[in-house]
């Protein structure tokens, strides 16, 4: 007997990806229910070869739901995730609302999959920030080999990380530039078309943005609290896939060749690293793919035991929807969750 799965925020970018990935991976669901706010009631979304009608999150009866993939934003999650958890629904939350809660596991299955065992305190498991997810997938196998001391990362994040309105803004601004039309800026603080914006989320008192702080705090929680990390997060005029320039300092020696071999055999990683024009991955090529791609692996001669590399992944998939579905699979594979119908 399969599970009953609800998708909260099913009409958004990530919600639609969740539906597609559940179908693609043949997730053991007897029923999948797309949910959104009342204004989306009756809209249709695709689930495999089926079309499903969206239902109202606020009035839906969750009594027989096993898993809720929550992708409706932090405010909605803060209101609904504890309520659903109290009803015995396991919530896998894509927002930042519960990531740093000590009673909520923050999980990337390739990195700390066993952490899902701690879900029972609140029946909530948190998905990390999209830029953190792909980073720790690449760091974990190298940390196991040579112990990471410090990481310096600059991100090149696509507009889809800011939602559908942000994608529309890039499209409309680009069109306006070519047609001499009016160029409107509403979603971003500055023009995004043919530009870069070195700000994602709000500024904090120390001068870092909240997005940069998330990468620091979440990497420590998921991977190792001893790792020192500093980040610069930049929004770029790319529709899908986040890219990262990563500089790593290790406690123990590790060569570029060793790192390349380790990453080729690491779960969730694909190495594309030919030292020739085009012998690397770009965000365009990673869009629609599940893997975290790693290129430009090289030794950094400015520090002892240093490496530099380029990491790219589809932020809507591994950075959000895919990771959430993998967390659900991790619960099932570890036999931590029985369908309510079967239990009854």
The two structure tokens encoding residue 220? 């420590």
- Our answer to whether residue 130 is catalytic in this structure is yes
68 is catalytic: no
- Where helices occur in the chain by DSSP H, the ranges are 13-24, 74-86, 109-112, 130-146, 164-179, 210-222, 256-264, 283-286, 322-333, 340-343
46 is in an annotated binding site: no
Rounded to 5 degrees, φ, ψ at 70 are -100, 115
268: annotated binding-site residue?
A: no
* 157 in a known ligand binding site: yes
Task: Tell me if 195 is assigned to a ligand binding site.
Answer: no
Does 14 appear as a known binding residue? yes
- Helix (H) / strand (E) containing 56: strand 55-56
Name which of 135, 178, 63 is nearest 293 in CA terms.
Answer: 135
Q: Is 232 within any annotated ligand binding site?
A: no
Q: Is 39 annotated as a binding residue?
A: yes
Would you say 315 is a known binding-site residue? Answer: yes
Own/partner pairs, 164-171, CB within 8 angstroms, 24+ separation: 164/12, 164/13, 166/192, 167/13, 167/239, 170/237, 170/239
- Please give the structure tokens belonging to residue 206: 């120390």
How does strand 55-56 pair with strand 50-53?
unpaired
Q: Is 40 annotated as a binding residue?
A: yes
**What is the rounded CA–CA span in Å between residue 200 and residue 233?**
6
Contact indicator for 66, 89 with CB cutoff of 8 Å: yes
Query: Is residue 108 annotated as involved in ligand binding?
Result: no
Catalytic one of 68, 130, 143, 269: 130
323 is in an annotated binding site: no
247 is in an annotated binding site: no
Q: Which of 68, 143, 242, 269 is catalytic?
A: 242
Q: Which segments are annotated as binding site?
A: 11-14, 39-40, 99, 157, 160-161, 235, 315
Q: Which segments are annotated as binding site for substrate?
A: 157, 235
Catalytically active residues are 130, 242
Q: Which segments are annotated as binding site for NADP(+)?
A: 11-14, 39-40, 160-161, 315
Q: Which segments are annotated as binding site for phosphate?
A: 99
């Amino acid at each position: 007997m399969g599970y009953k799965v609800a998708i909260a925020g099913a009409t958004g970018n990530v919600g639609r990806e969740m539906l597609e990935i559940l179908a693609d991976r043949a997730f053991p669901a007897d029923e999948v229910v797309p949910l959104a706010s009342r204004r989306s009631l009756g809209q249709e979304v695709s689930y495999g070869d089926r079309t499903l009608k969206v239902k109202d999150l606020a009035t839906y009866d969750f009594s027989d739901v096993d898993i809720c993939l929550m992708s409706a934003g932090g405010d909605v999650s803060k209101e609904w995730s504890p309520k659903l958890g109290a009803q015995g629904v396991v919530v896998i939350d894509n927002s930042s609302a519960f990531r740093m809660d000590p009673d909520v596991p923050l999980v990337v299955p390739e990195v700390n999959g066993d952490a899902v065992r701690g879900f029972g305190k609140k029946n909530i498991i948190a998905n990390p920030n999209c830029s953190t997810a792909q980073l720790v997938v690449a760091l974990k196998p190298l940390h196991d080999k040579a112990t990471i001391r410090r990481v310096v990362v600059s991100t090149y994040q696509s507009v889809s990380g800011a939602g559908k309105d942000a994608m529309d803004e890039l499209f409309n601004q680009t069109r306006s530039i070519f047609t001499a039309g009016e160029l409107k800026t509403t979603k971003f603080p500055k023009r995004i078309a043919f530009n870069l914006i070195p700000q994602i989320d709000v500024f904090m008192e120390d001068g870092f943005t909240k997005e940069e702080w998330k990468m620091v705090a979440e990497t420590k929680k998921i991977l190792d609290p001893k790792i020192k990390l500093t980040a610069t997060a930049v929004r770029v005029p790319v529709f899908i896939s986040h890219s990262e320039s990563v500089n790593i300092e290790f406690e123990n020696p590790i060569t570029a060749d060793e790192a390349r071999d380790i990453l080729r055999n690491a779960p969730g990683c694909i190495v594309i690293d030919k030292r020739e024009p085009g012998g690397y991955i770009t965000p365009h090529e990673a869009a629609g793919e599940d893997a975290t791609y790693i290129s430009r692996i090289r030794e950094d001669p400015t520090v002892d035991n240093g490496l530099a590399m380029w990491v790219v992944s589809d932020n809507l998939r591994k950075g959000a929807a895919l990771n959430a579905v993998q967390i659900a699979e991790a619960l099932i594979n570890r036999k931590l969750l029985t369908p309510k119908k079967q239990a009854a």
